[in-house]
A and B are shown apart, each in its own frame.
Chain A
């Protein structure tokens, strides 16, 4: 590897000294399939002399075998990694490349440009300081260019290099360059990009990559490499208020208790007053350390802090400068980028990870989605893969946060599917919809336990789930009769009946089914709060929503009863004639036929209706309730 610096050969110690102080720039490249993105990255690696001779030999051989450049080197082959994409001739995922010059180390997120991979671009951009947007000079500003620029601005990148590529194919025309630049600036005015640096290049030939091009004397700006080496990186938010999400409590022995984390903004000194959010407990910093004590620490460093007082603080809390602590709320307006094949349904509950806090969240309102090509706002009831929407979200408890525009780490979150555990979305907090300080649970003097005790029982919810016609209502009715005969106080929520009243505005799409169950879960909880034994008989086809209803109740007071009957059996019973209609296509979204039923994985009770009569099933359930002590009350 013939390196540029003579110091390597002559004075390696001086060279190392110089390289110790290099800074780091992370950027992404975005372009369409044929804009020459891989070629550009390959060229940057090649021109910064980061390619070893054996790699170069392999590259030359590969270029002849499968390259697209005849006898010339195909730089794209340097970076097209996985076998699958080599076969397709396109890049399919985010890849990270590294190169280094005298002044900087660079990490490049190489992200694909085609539409179905918005997810990958957002991922690559989330850690980038700058974006290089490629334009094919022959084709100008395309739909894709607009999409890439919108995504770049959405994720909060303020600096863009507009690399107008393939200038060699337009005779290095100044007019072409000016026209494209004009088109782009007009479009970009509506985005939040602060600085656009246009550079005319040819990645293939090497014009204005590391050496100023002799072919374009009309261009007086920097080469691409010169710009990347000197562009000022935002100074890591050092002067912003101090924030450190606590990752881990370090307690090696009784004498030391430290709080470890990555400083996301600001600076912290021993002696500084701090506030731990959301609890707002205060203390003072005793020591700031990595493996030894530091005079101070600043944004971007992973440190451990010990405090002067023994206060309650654990993973998920955020240490803040006492004068400017993070806000706390449990409802937000956010932008959500959906990244999964299973669509986002308002009302469904997901896990939300923000910093080191993990909570349960659901989208309460999908205000609109954004067409990434035209920036138009469109009405929507759900978000599909790669769609972006403005959403209000609600959490099960308040979290400490800052607006994404002010602090990426304190305002950027992911959503995780509770069943598949996949990361399904990225989100950005704009602002809180209400302040947590204003929410008070009205304290009640008469508790649910005492209400239930008065009735000689314990409050609980019996949740019957199963296909239409499985016998849920029949069994639930029998159970209620028996409980009534035993002098217990019950109530029944039946799917069909609730749809005539409370939920009459809802249909049978997935989105509406989620909302249907959410409302019923809340009603069941209110009735259980009144001390009742609540019997709920709903198809409730999705695991997520049954889980949500379960989470509303204290542990041990939710009984999922799976009334199990094979589809063939219920279809032959077909008491309401619904399956026939569904088979004829007269009913849309019918569970078991045209809409899925997800059977419970661990129900408290599993009733096999092919073996057990409804009477026997009811007896079994009542016996179970009795065995668990629910038919005797504690008087509180």
Chain B
């Protein structure tokens, strides 16, 4: 769209006939028609008169002469001000998403898994709704096999922030003795996936915030920020809605629910840098300390409580270890480390040679399995 076409449209919009403009400024109709078509420019001394008659602002009539200008002091300050950093832009995007959901959802909830991504998501939610509190509860699906340190940290954070937390445990699974040692993939399915679905259905939540990031694995890279689930909580990667600009379509069909991912565009490094910069509390298990561990299924597993099945011939040994991700303790491998501060963790992460999710047993199946799991309703 060139400036000329724009000007023509503006004159048409004004509803003032060229004949009347001509009469008012004392020029011929032919001259006015040339101004309108852009063949000639409106003489400078007539611009303000034409502005009065037509209501078209002068900086539109002669952009070469009149510019929309800010006061000089402000302009100078702005020129000197630095650009927004990548973390500021990510933060702004996440806060925008959190607010869009709250504005459009009937009954939102935030899935809080106690890990570092959840810590960042919660911190962003506190910012998004300050000086008030986030207008939704938090939901923790507890498999009953989480590190005890996670549960302590969770309770302490909720008390400090004064937030409402719903804990959901699949009691039926507990009664049936479902555990990570004997039931493998079925364990995750029953205690995590099924439990999550049941919790959402029970409370009637229509939108659930999740802390997933697109850099985590390949199928996540294509998932939308507002990701729809059928009444059976299935994800259909081929039926995703296009997301343009900052516009999210949150309209649901009957029975559908939404998973909203405010930190989709953050990477692991962004998360750690933000935690460092904003001084966000995280579970102490992320920091290296002497902990009792055994070797189990090729991973270093911490003996968090008496339920750990220590392989025959092994005794727990004390090692200085930390965890790169947190989940169910029998499924979460520790890494030997000396990193006891945030900068040391980041340093170790940048220098290390294995990626984040390797510690999690769930991803070890075929490379497309995460997509299958998600279609079935895993978060």
Contacts and interface: CB of A to CB of B under 8 A. Distances in A.
A302 B128 contact: yes
B232 interface: no
Interface string A427-450: 000111111001000000000000
B66 interface: no
A58 interface: yes
B158 interface: no
Given A86-B368, A298-B78, A353-B247, A120 B128 contact: no
A304 interface: yes
Interface in B262-276: 264-265, 267, 269-270, 273, 276
Interface in A171-203: none
A63 interface: no
B343 A16 contact: yes
B219 A82 contact: yes
B77 to A, nearest CB: 8
Interface stretch (B148-156, B185-193, B325-333, B344-352): B344-352
A389 B306 CA distance: 68
Given A12-B344, A82-B237, A236-B83, A421 B355 contact: no
Nearest to B92: A302
Interface residues of A, number: 103
B133 A252 contact: yes
A380 interface: no
Contacts of A252: 129, 131-133
B347 A9 contact: yes
Contact of B269 (A21, A100, A421): A100
A19 B265 CA distance: 17
A81 interface: yes
A236 B85 CA distance: 12
Interface string B18-34: 00000000000000000
Query: Interface residues of B: mostly helix, strand, loop or mixed?
Result: helix
Interface stretch (A121-129, A533-541, A543-551): A121-129
Q: Which of A62, A405, A414, A435 gathers the greatest number of chain B CB atoms within 10 Å?
A: A414
A412 interface: yes
A84 B131 contact: no
A53 B78 contact: no
B237 A414 contact: no
A247 B103 contact: yes
A413 interface: yes
Contacts of A260: 99, 128
Nearest to A56: B353
Interface residues on B, range: 35 or more
Q: Which of B83, B253, B351 gathers the greatest number of chain A CB atoms within 10 Å?
A: B83
Interface in A233-263: 233, 235-236, 238-239, 241, 247-248, 250-253, 256, 258, 260-262
A1 B352 contact: yes
Nearest to A266: B70
A333 B8 CA distance: 13
Interface in B350-374: 350-355, 358, 367-368, 371-372
Contacts of B264: 96
A366 B141 CA distance: 51
B151 to A, nearest CB: 27
B343 A54 contact: no
Contact of B13 (A21, A22, A356, A433): A433
B347 A8 contact: yes
A22 B270 CA distance: 11
B85 A100 contact: no
Closest 5 CB pairs of A and B: A252-B132, A52-B355, A81-B218, A302-B95, A83-B368
Interface of A: 1-3, 8-9, 12-13, 15-16, 19-24, 52-55, 58, 62, 79-84, 86, 92-98, 100, 104-105, 107, 110, 119-120, 122-123, 126-127, 233, 235-236, 238-239, 241, 247-248, 250-253, 256, 258, 260-262, 267, 269, 289-292, 296, 298, 300-302, 304, 315, 324, 333, 339, 351, 353, 355-356, 403, 405, 408-409, 412-414, 416, 420-423, 426, 430-435, 438
25 contacts: A8-B350, A12-B347, A16-B276, A22-B85, A82-B222, A82-B368, A95-B214, A105-B270, A247-B99, A250-B131, A252-B132, A267-B70, A290-B127, A301-B84, A353-B247, A355-B247, A356-B100, A405-B1, A408-B245, A414-B242, A414-B249, A416-B249, A422-B249, A430-B9, A434-B15
